[in-house]
Amino acid sequence: MEKFTLTLKSVPAKSRRTTLCGVVSSGNLEVLVEPIGMEDACEIEVSTSAHGFRDIWEAVLNDFAKEHESGGLRLSINDAGATPAVVSLRLSQAFEIASGDAP
Amino acid sequence: MKQHDHLASNRLARLKRAAGISSNRLVATEHAVQLLGAVIEPGDRVCIEGNNQKQADFLARCIAKTDPSRVTGLHLVQSVLALPEHIDLIERGQVERIDFSFSGPQASRLALLVENKKIAIGAIHTYLELFARYFVDLTPRVALIAAQAADREGNLYTGPNTEDTPAIVEATAFKGGIVIAQVNEIVDRLPRVDIPADWVNFYIKAPTPHYIEPLFTRDPALITEIQVLMGMIAIKGLYAEYGITRLNHGIGFDTAAIELLLPTYAADLGLKGKICTHWALNPHPTLIPAIESGFVKSVHCFGSEVGMERYTSARPDIFFVGADGSMRSNRAFSQAAGHYACDLFIGSTLQIDSHGNSSTATLDRIAGFGGAPNMGADARGRRHASPAWLRAGREAQLGAGIPRGKKLVVQIVETFREHMQPTFVEHLDAWELAKTADMELPPVMIYGDDLTHIITEEGIANLLLCRTQEEREQAIRGVAGYTPFGMSRDARMVENLRDRGIIRRAEDLGIRKRDATRDLLAARNIKDLVRISGGLYDPPAQFRNW
């Protein structure tokens, strides 16, 4: 298990609902989105079963924080070997639900 | 006097040697090895029928039991080397040379034999290319084929799995060769005659029915949300944009996802009747929902698919069905149809380089091609127009003062395969393989200059709109995601390509990622497919988990 936390600059989120998205199963991940007491940054905590992919995680998460208004949110990721494609998709899904523009 | 019938008199000599084994065309099962020993001569070109679907497996077992001192120096000319017996025959030293298309399950053993110089490869062909050579310089002297049934005269019924048989038999029978058929059963009256008796020299009842691989069955339960997302991108960003009505899908879960999105996502977009009406395609079980919802008008098949026999029989408006009520496939014709009469090919691959060349070759496997390169290539002999074909030609600015069209050739891949293997690479493994196996050409599945679009979870790259090699390369890197190949993109150039619509992301196409769920699939498991088929689809045991 590899664990690390990143704090990334991001535009303040408009809505901050607590959301859980995805499941911890092989090649998949679970992400919990919840509000924290910050404005212009998000905190992302990663626990992953796959070792040695920190660079790719950072690239994926940096892009996420850049493209989504996620300041003031904490994302806790429980990963069971998801590809970057699945990570991005789950984060986008979780964010779309958490930021409240879901139908 | 010059003799003009060497081949015919040689055939007669072979038949005479076999006369003691069988007085008519029917040969007893236990005499099959003896028959092969009698009619095959050293140095013969031999075709053991088999492709990625049906296999003349009994005759393959028999030829691997012949006397290696007499049946020797063979030149195998056949679609696939897929059975262990094919490789056994090589290991027994009975084969000098092979010309083939595909080696799937035996790819590793074959690579080893080539490395140890146990065998020379003439060339790795596409199916259509190999069939073409049967009629020019690789005509078999002996063809060992597989049929469903024979009647007492030796007429053959090949049924839904007709596949390569007509091409092989026509070349062999009409050029002085010997045709030997294994059949599952001998009956008084065939449902229909697929191969007439006077093209067949011997037929043998095999102890077990010939093997058929259910290669085109994809369990919808295994389709991922990423594949759903890529399918949505393909339908909205490509099929709808170009109005693709005539097409071929490769094998795999990515294209199975598209098939299962037609009655749901594509129908919601109002695309029924506007896309995906006419197909060159095997009877994919995952196409059943689209057929049942009236999306599909016609499907011509390369081969059949295990379990789809009753369904195809019951849908003669869609499939090509004989007067007897069973489907007939034909690989050669379907390959020609896929090459000339389809506007789009879409398939998956293992590796793509910066030129857009793609390959399924890896270092320790010589897997070959099958049919994809015929479908995945611009048909430069094509002379009929269609809106999709003309638009592609316009986008590529083809033609010297004359309008030209172009086929859409699409690769749909995830940026990473399993075990985090990147699909996008600077250098194809095919180069190394060509070196170790002493090939004149690296085994490339789809050439970069034929490739028009790449779809990944990152969006579509439209290579037709790229004007320089640099733009092309950046367009490919721009959809290569977080692979090292993708990360080394020129970010500004990629943004520019996106502004020009050369790269289109899901959000540029108005696709919401949260909609990409398995709920969109018209069937979520094999059982759904059976239900939607009205119980006509009868999946093989390994796909039944209820």
Are B457 and A93 an interchain contact pair (Cβ–Cβ within 8 Å)?
no
B73 pLDDT band (50/70/90 cuts)? very high
Write out pLDDT tens, residues B308-346: 999 999 999 999 999 999 999 999 999 999 999 999 999
The answer to whether the CB of B328 falls within 8 A of the CB of B304 is no
Asked whether residue A102 carries a pLDDT value surpassing 60, the answer given is: no
Q: Taking each helix axis from N to C terminus, what angle separates B469-478 and B491-499, rounded to the nearest 10 degrees?
A: 90
- Concatenating the DSSP letter of every residue in B432-484 gives HHHHHTT-SS---SB-TTT--EEEETTEEEEGGG--SHHHHHHHHHHTSTTSH
Asked whether residue A15 carries a pLDDT value surpassing 90, the answer given is: no
Asked whether residue B129 carries a pLDDT value surpassing 60, the answer given is: yes
C-alpha to C-alpha distance for B35 and B324, rounded to whole angstroms:
33
More confident residue, B367 or B382: B382
pLDDT of residue B485: 98
Are A85 and B414 an interchain contact pair (Cβ–Cβ within 8 Å)?
yes
More confident residue, B258 or A22: B258
CA dihedral A77, A80, A81, A82 (to 10 degrees): -60
Inform me whether the C-beta atom of residue B221 falls under 8 Å from chain A C-beta atoms: no
B422 → chain A, closest CA residue: A83
Are A50 and B420 an interchain contact pair (Cβ–Cβ within 8 Å)?
yes
Write out pLDDT tens, residues A45-92: 999 998 989 999 999 999 999 999 999 999 999 999 999 999 999 998
**pLDDT mean over B268-294:** 98
pLDDT of residue A22: 86
**SS3 category, B71:** coil
- Concatenating the DSSP letter of every residue in A25-67 gives STT-EEEEEEE-S-SSEEEEEEEESS-S-HHHHHHHHHHHHHH
Are B420 and A86 an interchain contact pair (Cβ–Cβ within 8 Å)?
no
**pLDDT mean over B149-159:** 97
DSSP type of residue B294: T
Provide CB contacts within 8 A for B70, sequence distance 6+.
B37, B42
Write out pLDDT tens, residues B417-471: 988 899 999 999 999 988 887 888 899 999 999 999 999 999 999 999 999 999 9
A93 → chain B, closest CA residue: B514
Q: Taking each helix axis from N to C terminus, what angle separates A84-98 and A54-67, rounded to the nearest 10 degrees?
A: 30
* ipTM computed for the complex: 0.92
Q: Looking at beta carbons, which residues of chain A come within 8 Å of B516? A: 89
**SS3 category, B253:** helix
User: Picking from B52-56, B242-246, B519-523, which range would have the lowest pLDDT averaged per residue?
Assistant: B52-56
Whole-Å CA distances, B49 to A89, B57, B227, B304: 45, 8, 35, 15
Are A84 and B415 an interchain contact pair (Cβ–Cβ within 8 Å)?
yes
A27 → chain B, closest CA residue: B418
A103 pLDDT band (50/70/90 cuts)? very low
C-alpha to C-alpha distance for B327 and B322, rounded to whole angstroms:
6
The answer to whether the CB of B67 falls within 8 A of the CB of B93 is no
Inform me whether the C-beta atom of residue B222 falls under 8 Å from chain A C-beta atoms: no
C-alpha to C-alpha distance for B58 and B165, rounded to whole angstroms:
16
A102 → chain B, closest CA residue: B514
C-alpha to C-alpha distance for B478 and B487, rounded to whole angstroms:
9
Query: To which H or E segment does residue B497 belong?
Result: helix B491-499
More confident residue, B201 or B102: B201
Inform me whether the C-beta atom of residue B416 falls under 8 Å from chain A C-beta atoms: yes
Are B416 and A89 an interchain contact pair (Cβ–Cβ within 8 Å)?
no
Of A85, A89, A97, the CB nearest to B415: A85
C-alpha to C-alpha distance for B381 and B260, rounded to whole angstroms:
33
Write out pLDDT tens, residues B481-496: 999 999 999 999 999 9
pLDDT of residue A40: 93
The answer to whether the CB of B179 falls within 8 A of the CB of B201 is yes
- Please state the domain extents for chain B: 24-205, 220-527
**Nearest CA among B459, B456, B486, B457 for reference residue B473:** B486
C-alpha to C-alpha distance for B113 and B119, rounded to whole angstroms:
6
**SS3 category, B390:** helix
Same fold, B24-205 and B220-527: yes
- Other CB atoms within a 10 A radius of the CB of residue B37 amount to 18
Are B416 and A84 an interchain contact pair (Cβ–Cβ within 8 Å)?
yes
B367 pLDDT band (50/70/90 cuts)? confident
B170 pLDDT band (50/70/90 cuts)? very high
Whole-Å CA distances, B524 to B2, B221, B256, B340, B520: 69, 5, 11, 34, 9
pLDDT of residue A101: 55
- The arrangement of secondary structure in B220-527, i.e. its CATH architecture, is 3-Layer(aba) Sandwich (3.40)
Rounded to a whole number of angstroms, the distance from the CA of B528 to the nearest CA of chain A is 24
pLDDT of residue B114: 85
Q: Taking each helix axis from N to C terminus, what angle separates B127-134 and B165-173, rounded to the nearest 10 degrees?
A: 20
**Nearest CA among B407, B513, B515 for reference residue B451:** B407
Are B416 and A60 an interchain contact pair (Cβ–Cβ within 8 Å)?
no
What is the interface size between A and B, counted as CB pairs within 8 Å? 42
Residue from B225, B228, B498, B514 whose CB has the most chain A CBs within 10 Å, to mutate: B514
Rounded to a whole number of angstroms, the distance from the CA of B482 to the nearest CA of chain A is 6
Are A85 and B420 an interchain contact pair (Cβ–Cβ within 8 Å)?
no
Of A59, A83, A88, the CB nearest to B420: A83
**pLDDT mean over B154-174:** 97
Q: What is the mean pLDDT of chain B?
A: 95
Asked whether residue B372 carries a pLDDT value surpassing 60, the answer given is: yes
Q: Looking at beta carbons, which residues of chain A come within 8 Å of B513? A: 89, 92-93, 96
What percent of chain B shows pLDDT beyond 70?
Answer: 100
Residue from A23, A25, A64, A83 whose CB has the most chain B CBs within 10 Å, to mutate: A83
Inform me whether the C-beta atom of residue B356 falls under 8 Å from chain A C-beta atoms: no
Query: To which H or E segment does residue B415 belong?
Result: none
End-to-end CA gap in chain B:
73
Instruction: Measure the CA angle with vertex B526, ends B520 and B528; round to 5°.
Output: 55
Are B514 and A85 an interchain contact pair (Cβ–Cβ within 8 Å)?
no
B486: buried, middle or exposed (CB in 10 Å: 19+, 13-18, 0-12)? Answer: buried
Residue from B420, B421, B456, B482 whose CB has the most chain A CBs within 10 Å, to mutate: B482
Residue from A17, A28, A89, A91 whose CB has the most chain B CBs within 10 Å, to mutate: A89
Write out pLDDT tens, residues B23-46: 889 999 999 999 999 999 999 999
Fold of B24-205: Glutaconate Coenzyme A-transferase (3.40.1080)
CA dihedral B234, B238, B241, B242 (to 10 degrees): -140
Structural domains in chain A?
A: 2-98 (3.30.230)
Q: Looking at beta carbons, which residues of chain B come within 8 Å of A86? A: 224-226
Are A84 and B481 an interchain contact pair (Cβ–Cβ within 8 Å)?
yes
Q: How many residues would you count in chain B?
A: 546
Q: Is B190 left (phi over 0), alpha (psi -120 to 50) or beta?
A: beta
Are A89 and B482 an interchain contact pair (Cβ–Cβ within 8 Å)?
no
Are A96 and B516 an interchain contact pair (Cβ–Cβ within 8 Å)?
no
